[in-house]
Structure 1
């Protein structure tokens, strides 16, 4: 019998049986609905597919009658208690057949594109095998949990997505993305339940979100001096831009203990400057200034758009005692930032 047809007819049969105790087995509409459903079963077992069944007048009539049963007057409690219910699915305390519980999986499988089905097909094949083995819907759901197919169906796409994200992230040079996706693939490969997937997934995502934001702010703050110089190159020496550059010239030394040279000695900022910032400099500007490298653009900004505007300022001096960062409530030397992001000192989150 066609799997989709079986799901629908099983659902019809269960619905009809469910009304027997409340309406009585001699209810005319109920008896007619049972006849139609059983007739459709015979046709389906003889090879009728979904198209043939759905076009059969008995199919529409059965569906309409089942809908009308909800409006039929029910028996009194005394009549229901005395009604003969032998062989009645609902009164026997039986549960729906496995096909009803599996209906959603069949619908999902039938709606898949060939590409998705190629990836997910092996999981659904196993689910359908369990459906055939199951005695009823409860047994089917129990087998799904015991077999682990739902767990694997949840875990494998997450691991594949992490690996794909890691591959796509090669061009953005983000240590936080790299660490997170490598950790996801490693962690998910070791867990053994959907509960663990959810717990570790949420935990890693929350910690990673903090580290992504922290990294972005670090780039913004440590790169304040070249950013000010870049703004003057782009928009000209407007008073507010020059004022911001002069203030930053003093502020960075006083606040973080670093000067222009320390900025371009920091491994994390250099990773950004060489691989993210420099490639975005338009070709016409490179030609205009005769600059062909990230180092050349750095020197151009300092010589033409930084030094001339701070030449009357005191020369700031680096102060290693101020050059530090704070991550996850711990303090580290500033030049260790890239190492920290490659392997962050994440706090231990205990489950209680």
Structure 2
């Protein structure tokens, strides 16, 4: 009798444990949660966590609840691969991330080999979706689209300027700078200076001196806000009067704290601000009530998990291959950043880059405002 009772208890425990295991769909959220780019990692994390909470409250995915598993890649490709392998070991089925293209690209190989769908809210290098992998998607645009907008704008609005094209030697930064250079050259503009700096550099005196000697008055930068802000501040301190432009890698309010007043007038390409979408009004207010401003990629991360959830429902399955096929075939999906459809490569079908200018707002703080 005692043996039967123990067996029954053990069986009940096994059923309870199995029920818990089966009731969770593990979604990895990967990005630079620490380090100089942690502001972007926070955007990816907060966006996905809020999306998971809202989807779970509405019944989850096919009756199962989402559980978020975090992975800190500190913007390092090797660490990103380590995070990817840990996600595989943990049983993660879907990934929202990574932030950097140079991390997303190698990590995606690990995910592809292990049946995991990856949707990045932020990695814009074309190679991410150009390699023919079945599992790579993004809710953002591509650098060839963004560079075309930037190059055309410079050619049209700075016709007599001597232009410098600077990048940080990363797949994202150099890729974006090169796409902008390509568009400039196609419009008949030849850059006066083309240089690469190293991510993490803090002293740009030699580069600034070179640009001053060349008479540069328009500087395009491919890279992230950390180095860009220092470059702007030091250029102003050293008397280089030029207009600065960059892309979506500087979409962080941290830029103003790094560059100071030198950020005033900075031009920037990014998608139309999703916070201004009337359909996202309640969601934006929810983030703000929690003390987090959902700028830049926050809503892109939220949208990535929405797409995963809706595609899994459409497929009636959480199998990676089935969900990937549904993402491509079952759109458009209603998301926090608008309706999204995907092509066979995994790119969104709407290219949407516009120009912004950094300027002081009514509170006296610098912010980016979409150009009319």
Q: TM-score range by the shorter chain?
A: under 0.3
> Larger helix proportion, structure 1 or 2?
1
State the structure with bigger RCO (CA 8 A, min sep 6), 1 or 2: 2
